Amino acid sequence: MGQQITVTGMVLSAMPIGEYDKRLVILTKERGKLSAFAKGVRRQNSPDAAASQPFIFGTFTLYEGRTSYTVQQVEVQNYFDGLRRDLEMIYHASYFCELADDLTREYNDEKNILLLLYQTLRALMRGVVPAPLIRAIYEIKALAYYGQAMEVFSCVKCGSQEALAVFDSEAGGMLCGECKGAAGAPIPVSDSTLYTLQFILGSSLEKLYSFRVSEQVMAQLKAITAQYCCRYVDKRQKSLDFLEQMDGKA
Ligand SMILES: [Zn+2]
Protein backbone atom coordinates (compact mmCIF):
# COMPACT_ATOMS: atom_id res chain seq x y z
CA MET A 1 0.00 0.00 0.00
CA GLY A 2 1.20 3.49 -0.73
CA GLN A 3 1.06 6.47 1.55
CA GLN A 4 0.53 10.17 1.43
CA ILE A 5 3.41 12.59 1.83
CA THR A 6 3.61 16.38 1.84
CA VAL A 7 6.58 18.18 0.34
CA THR A 8 7.49 21.79 -0.35
CA GLY A 9 9.17 22.58 -3.61
CA MET A 10 9.31 24.01 -7.09
CA VAL A 11 8.19 22.54 -10.40
CA LEU A 12 11.24 22.36 -12.68
CA SER A 13 9.45 20.96 -15.70
CA ALA A 14 6.01 19.75 -16.76
CA MET A 15 5.83 17.29 -19.62
CA PRO A 16 2.52 16.34 -21.27
CA ILE A 17 1.74 12.63 -20.89
CA GLY A 18 -1.06 10.90 -22.78
CA GLU A 19 -4.10 12.99 -23.50
CA TYR A 20 -4.84 14.65 -20.18
CA ASP A 21 -1.92 14.20 -17.80
CA LYS A 22 1.46 15.73 -17.05
CA ARG A 23 4.66 14.48 -15.51
CA LEU A 24 6.07 17.07 -13.13
CA VAL A 25 9.67 17.18 -12.00
CA ILE A 26 9.67 18.83 -8.57
CA LEU A 27 12.70 19.95 -6.60
CA THR A 28 11.68 19.46 -2.96
CA LYS A 29 13.04 20.45 0.40
CA GLU A 30 12.37 17.01 1.88
CA ARG A 31 13.29 14.47 -0.80
CA GLY A 32 15.50 16.20 -3.31
CA LYS A 33 14.29 15.96 -6.89
CA LEU A 34 11.36 13.71 -7.72
CA SER A 35 8.87 13.25 -10.53
CA ALA A 36 5.14 12.95 -10.01
CA PHE A 37 2.14 12.40 -12.25
CA ALA A 38 -0.50 15.09 -12.30
CA LYS A 39 -3.62 13.39 -13.59
CA GLY A 40 -6.27 15.16 -15.61
CA VAL A 41 -4.62 18.58 -15.39
CA ARG A 42 -4.78 19.08 -19.16
CA ARG A 43 -8.55 18.62 -19.26
CA GLN A 44 -10.48 21.74 -20.09
CA ASN A 45 -11.40 23.64 -16.93
CA SER A 46 -9.20 21.51 -14.72
CA PRO A 47 -8.89 23.40 -11.42
CA ASP A 48 -5.27 22.23 -11.09
CA ALA A 49 -4.06 23.34 -14.54
CA ALA A 50 -2.40 26.52 -13.25
CA ALA A 51 -0.61 24.62 -10.50
CA SER A 52 0.96 22.12 -12.89
CA GLN A 53 3.40 24.40 -14.69
CA PRO A 54 7.10 25.12 -14.42
CA PHE A 55 8.21 27.69 -11.79
CA ILE A 56 5.26 26.92 -9.47
CA PHE A 57 6.42 26.98 -5.86
CA GLY A 58 4.22 25.49 -3.17
CA THR A 59 3.22 22.58 -0.99
CA PHE A 60 2.44 19.34 -2.78
CA THR A 61 0.45 16.48 -1.33
CA LEU A 62 1.59 13.34 -3.13
CA TYR A 63 0.48 9.76 -3.10
CA GLU A 64 3.55 7.58 -2.98
CA GLY A 65 2.97 4.42 -4.97
CA ARG A 66 5.36 1.56 -5.39
CA THR A 67 7.20 3.07 -8.34
CA SER A 68 5.91 6.61 -8.72
CA TYR A 69 4.28 9.61 -7.09
CA THR A 70 0.90 11.04 -7.99
CA VAL A 71 -0.06 14.62 -7.21
CA GLN A 72 -3.20 14.86 -5.09
CA GLN A 73 -3.24 18.48 -4.06
CA VAL A 74 -1.18 21.61 -4.58
CA GLU A 75 -1.19 24.69 -2.41
CA VAL A 76 0.58 27.31 -4.50
CA GLN A 77 2.64 29.88 -2.61
CA ASN A 78 4.14 31.60 -5.64
CA TYR A 79 3.07 31.25 -9.28
CA PHE A 80 5.95 33.42 -10.54
CA ASP A 81 3.42 34.68 -13.07
CA GLY A 82 5.46 37.78 -13.86
CA LEU A 83 8.10 35.57 -15.46
CA ARG A 84 5.68 34.27 -18.06
CA ARG A 85 5.06 37.69 -19.61
CA ASP A 86 8.53 38.24 -20.98
CA LEU A 87 10.50 35.99 -23.35
CA GLU A 88 13.90 36.90 -21.92
CA MET A 89 12.63 36.00 -18.44
CA ILE A 90 11.02 32.73 -19.57
CA TYR A 91 14.19 31.61 -21.36
CA HIS A 92 16.38 32.42 -18.37
CA ALA A 93 14.00 30.85 -15.84
CA SER A 94 13.70 27.70 -17.98
CA TYR A 95 17.47 27.41 -18.16
CA PHE A 96 17.83 27.89 -14.38
CA CYS A 97 15.28 25.10 -13.80
CA GLU A 98 16.91 22.79 -16.34
CA LEU A 99 20.35 23.31 -14.78
CA ALA A 100 18.89 22.62 -11.31
CA ASP A 101 17.32 19.46 -12.75
CA ASP A 102 20.68 18.28 -14.08
CA LEU A 103 22.56 19.01 -10.84
CA THR A 104 20.15 17.38 -8.36
CA ARG A 105 19.01 13.87 -7.43
CA GLU A 106 16.25 12.09 -5.55
CA TYR A 107 16.76 11.61 -1.78
CA ASN A 108 19.69 14.03 -1.85
CA ASP A 109 19.66 17.11 0.36
CA GLU A 110 19.04 19.79 -2.28
CA LYS A 111 17.70 22.53 0.02
CA ASN A 112 20.44 24.97 -0.94
CA ILE A 113 19.85 24.68 -4.67
CA LEU A 114 16.08 24.95 -4.12
CA LEU A 115 16.49 28.13 -2.06
CA LEU A 116 18.95 29.53 -4.58
CA LEU A 117 16.56 28.83 -7.44
CA TYR A 118 13.71 30.50 -5.54
CA GLN A 119 15.75 33.65 -4.84
CA THR A 120 17.02 33.66 -8.41
CA LEU A 121 13.54 33.59 -9.95
CA ARG A 122 12.49 36.38 -7.58
CA ALA A 123 15.47 38.49 -8.64
CA LEU A 124 14.69 37.81 -12.29
CA MET A 125 11.09 38.90 -11.81
CA ARG A 126 12.08 42.06 -9.89
CA GLY A 127 14.19 43.10 -12.87
CA VAL A 128 16.65 45.31 -10.95
CA VAL A 129 19.70 43.12 -11.68
CA PRO A 130 20.22 42.42 -15.42
CA ALA A 131 19.40 38.84 -16.48
CA PRO A 132 22.91 37.97 -17.77
CA LEU A 133 24.41 38.90 -14.38
CA ILE A 134 21.73 36.87 -12.58
CA ARG A 135 22.66 33.94 -14.81
CA ALA A 136 26.38 34.20 -13.99
CA ILE A 137 25.71 34.46 -10.25
CA TYR A 138 23.31 31.52 -10.36
CA GLU A 139 25.74 29.29 -12.28
CA ILE A 140 28.62 30.04 -9.91
CA LYS A 141 26.55 29.49 -6.78
CA ALA A 142 24.64 26.42 -8.06
CA LEU A 143 27.89 24.68 -8.99
CA ALA A 144 29.31 25.52 -5.56
CA TYR A 145 26.28 23.87 -3.87
CA TYR A 146 26.71 20.95 -6.26
CA GLY A 147 30.18 20.45 -4.77
CA GLN A 148 32.11 22.10 -7.56
CA ALA A 149 33.00 25.52 -6.14
CA MET A 150 35.59 27.52 -8.04
CA GLU A 151 38.63 28.58 -5.98
CA VAL A 152 38.79 32.37 -6.10
CA PHE A 153 40.33 33.27 -2.72
CA SER A 154 43.82 31.87 -3.35
CA CYS A 155 45.96 30.47 -6.14
CA VAL A 156 44.97 26.83 -6.82
CA LYS A 157 48.60 25.93 -7.47
CA CYS A 158 50.67 27.63 -4.74
CA GLY A 159 48.00 28.88 -2.30
CA SER A 160 49.12 32.51 -2.48
CA GLN A 161 46.41 35.10 -1.89
CA GLU A 162 48.46 37.82 -3.60
CA ALA A 163 48.49 38.89 -7.24
CA LEU A 164 45.75 36.54 -8.44
CA ALA A 165 45.86 37.11 -12.17
CA VAL A 166 43.99 34.63 -14.34
CA PHE A 167 41.12 32.17 -14.13
CA ASP A 168 41.46 28.66 -15.53
CA SER A 169 38.67 26.05 -15.33
CA GLU A 170 40.99 23.14 -15.86
CA ALA A 171 42.91 24.20 -12.73
CA GLY A 172 39.63 24.86 -10.87
CA GLY A 173 39.95 28.59 -10.26
CA MET A 174 42.41 31.45 -9.91
CA LEU A 175 46.15 31.31 -10.58
CA CYS A 176 48.63 33.95 -9.40
CA GLY A 177 51.12 35.83 -11.57
CA GLU A 178 53.84 33.29 -10.78
CA CYS A 179 51.74 30.22 -11.61
CA LYS A 180 49.68 31.47 -14.53
CA GLY A 181 51.96 29.76 -17.02
CA ALA A 182 50.39 26.44 -15.92
CA ALA A 183 46.94 27.50 -17.14
CA GLY A 184 45.57 25.67 -20.18
CA ALA A 185 43.12 28.40 -21.21
CA PRO A 186 43.72 31.42 -18.98
CA ILE A 187 41.09 34.14 -18.76
CA PRO A 188 42.48 37.48 -17.51
CA VAL A 189 40.65 38.69 -14.39
CA SER A 190 40.57 42.31 -13.24
CA ASP A 191 40.52 43.27 -9.56
CA SER A 192 36.82 44.20 -9.78
CA THR A 193 35.95 40.85 -11.36
CA LEU A 194 37.94 38.99 -8.71
CA TYR A 195 36.15 40.92 -5.98
CA THR A 196 32.80 40.09 -7.62
CA LEU A 197 33.62 36.36 -7.74
CA GLN A 198 34.67 36.43 -4.08
CA PHE A 199 31.52 38.29 -3.12
CA ILE A 200 29.29 35.79 -4.95
CA LEU A 201 30.93 32.77 -3.33
CA GLY A 202 31.16 34.34 0.12
CA SER A 203 27.74 35.98 0.28
CA SER A 204 24.49 34.70 1.78
CA LEU A 205 21.51 34.09 -0.51
CA GLU A 206 19.74 37.21 0.74
CA LYS A 207 22.54 39.51 -0.41
CA LEU A 208 23.35 37.66 -3.62
CA TYR A 209 21.29 39.77 -5.99
CA SER A 210 22.07 43.19 -4.58
CA PHE A 211 24.66 44.60 -6.98
CA ARG A 212 25.36 45.44 -10.60
CA VAL A 213 28.67 45.37 -12.48
CA SER A 214 30.43 47.26 -15.29
CA GLU A 215 30.42 45.96 -18.87
CA GLN A 216 34.05 44.88 -18.52
CA VAL A 217 33.34 42.82 -15.39
CA MET A 218 30.25 41.32 -17.03
CA ALA A 219 32.28 40.25 -20.07
CA GLN A 220 34.85 38.53 -17.84
CA LEU A 221 32.17 36.84 -15.71
CA LYS A 222 30.52 35.57 -18.88
CA ALA A 223 33.77 34.10 -20.21
CA ILE A 224 34.56 32.51 -16.83
CA THR A 225 31.14 30.91 -16.30
CA ALA A 226 30.92 29.67 -19.90
CA GLN A 227 34.30 27.95 -19.58
CA TYR A 228 33.53 26.63 -16.09
CA CYS A 229 30.09 25.21 -16.94
CA CYS A 230 31.48 23.60 -20.07
CA ARG A 231 34.09 21.85 -17.90
CA TYR A 232 31.99 20.83 -14.87
CA VAL A 233 28.38 20.41 -16.05
CA ASP A 234 28.01 17.00 -17.66
CA LYS A 235 25.54 17.90 -20.34
CA ARG A 236 24.46 20.95 -22.23
CA GLN A 237 21.01 22.32 -21.37
CA LYS A 238 18.54 22.45 -24.29
CA SER A 239 17.19 25.76 -23.06
CA LEU A 240 20.59 27.33 -23.77
CA ASP A 241 19.72 27.26 -27.48
CA PHE A 242 16.93 29.78 -26.89
CA LEU A 243 19.16 32.01 -24.77
CA GLU A 244 21.84 31.98 -27.44
CA GLN A 245 19.41 32.70 -30.26
CA MET A 246 18.18 35.66 -28.26
CA ASP A 247 21.73 36.88 -27.64
CA GLY A 248 22.41 36.62 -31.37
CA LYS A 249 19.43 38.81 -32.19
CA ALA A 250 20.25 41.47 -29.62
ZN1 LIG B 1 50.43 30.60 -7.51
Q: Which of 79, 97, 122 is the last residue before a domain boundary?
A: 79
Is there a single domain that holds both residue 53 and residue 177?
A: no
pLDDT tens readout for residues 7-26: 999 999 999 999 999 999 99
Same domain for 50 and 72, yes or no, is yes
How far, in Å, from the CA of 163 to the mean position of ligand 1? 9
Number of domains in the chain: 2
Residue 166: give the domain boundaries.
Answer: 82-249
Indicate if 117 and 235 belong to the same structural domain: yes
Are residues 244 and 145 part of one domain? Answer: yes
Q: Which of 79, 107, 137 is the last residue of a domain?
A: 79
CA 53 to chain CA mean position, Å: 17
State how far the Cα of 157 lies from the Cα of 174, in Å rounded to an integer: 9
* Same domain (yes/no): 73, 106: no
Question: What is the per-residue pLDDT for 249?
Answer: 61
- Ligand 1 centre to CA of 192 (Å) is 19
The model's confidence at residue 247, banded by pLDDT at 50, 70 and 90, is confident
One domain for residues 166 and 202? yes
- Model pLDDT for residues 37-57, shown as the tens digit of each residue: 999 999 988 988 889 999 999
In this structure, what CATH number is given to the domain that contains residue 49? Answer: 2.40.50.140
Q: Are residue 116 and residue 224 in the same domain, yes or no?
A: yes
Residues 173 and 63 in one domain: no
249, 237, 236: which is closest to 92 by C-alpha?
Answer: 237
Domain boundary among 79, 114, 145: 79
How many whole angstroms from 156 Cα to the centroid of ligand 1? Answer: 7
Q: Tell me if residue 238 falls in helix, strand or coil.
A: coil
Residues 112, 202, single domain; the answer is yes
Q: Is the pLDDT at 211 greater than 90, yes or no?
A: yes
Contacts of 218 (CB under 8 A, 6+ apart): 130, 132, 133, 136
52 lies in the same domain as 137: no
Q: What is the pLDDT of residues 66-89, one digit of tens each?
A: 889 999 999 999 999 999 989 999
Would the CA dihedral through 240, 15, 234, 96 be positive or negative? positive
Together in a domain, 185 and 161: yes
Centroid of ligand 1 to alpha carbon of 152 (angstroms): 12
CA of 167 from ligand 1 middle (Å) equals: 12
Distance 205 CA to ligand 1 centre (A): 30
Q: What is the pLDDT of residue 67?
A: 86
pLDDT digits (tens, 9 = 90+) for 95-125: 999 999 999 999 999 999 999 999 999 999 9
Q: Which CATH number belongs to the domain containing residue 106 in this structure?
A: 1.20.1440.120
| Mean pLDDT of the chain, nearest integer | 95
175 CA distance to ligand 1 middle (Å): 5
Q: Measured in angstroms, how far is the CA atom of residue 189 from the centroid of ligand 1?
A: 14
Question: What's the burial of 150, exposed, middle or buried (CB within 10 Å: 0-12/13-18/19+)?
Answer: buried
CA 91 to ligand 1 centroid distance, Å? 39
As a whole-number percent, the residues of the chain with pLDDT over 90 amount to 89
Q: List pLDDT tens digits, range 184-207.
A: 999 999 999 999 999 999 999 999
pLDDT in tens, 143-174: 999 999 999 999 999 999 999 999 999 999 99
- If asked whether residues 112 and 160 sit together in one domain, one would say yes
Q: How far is CA 207 from the centre of its chain?
A: 17
